[in-house]
Amino acid sequence: MDNNRHAAIATELVLVRHDKDAPAMFRCAAPGFVSAMYEKAGLCEVVEWDVDVELVTSSPEQYWEMISEHVSLTIAALQKVDGGARDRIRASAIANVRGFEKDGRVRVPGVARFIVGTK
């Protein structure tokens, strides 16, 4: 959902790729990953699908406030840089998200994956 934030942080900080098997926020993001775990756990009729979603805020500044205060990966990255870098990341993220302004709101598109199964 949020390449805007990621791109802004990457201009100031080298983002380390984690081992694909190590705990991380997107470790289970690949289609079929969690479904396979459900089936291995004995669930049947496992189905997964993606649903388009939007992160909606009233302004680019509110978007940054929400992202910088509530998204753990952003918070961790911001703790690794000085005040000047934080200001540049903020300015870059806000500038990048302005492209999603529509009808007086910022509407950042994304995808949520749903996975269900029966026991």
What would the pLDDT profile of 55-89 be if each residue is shown by its tens digit? 999 999 999 999 999 988 888 888 888 889 999 99
Judge whether residue 3 has pLDDT over 70. Answer: no
Residue 71 near residue 5, CB atoms below 8 Å? yes
Angle at 31 (CA atoms; ends 47, 2), nearest 5 degrees: 120
The crossing angle, in degrees rounded to 10, of helices 83-97 and 3-10 is: 140
| Distant-in-sequence contacts of 32-38, Cβ < 8 A, 24+ apart | 34/113, 34/115, 35/115, 35/117, 38/115, 38/117
Residue-level pLDDT at 21: 75
What would the pLDDT profile of 5-23 be if each residue is shown by its tens digit? 556 666 665 556 667 777 7
Domain ranges of the chain: 3-118
Buried b (16+ CB within 10 A) or exposed e, 65-89: eebbeeeebbeebbeeeeeebbeeb
pTM over 0.75: no
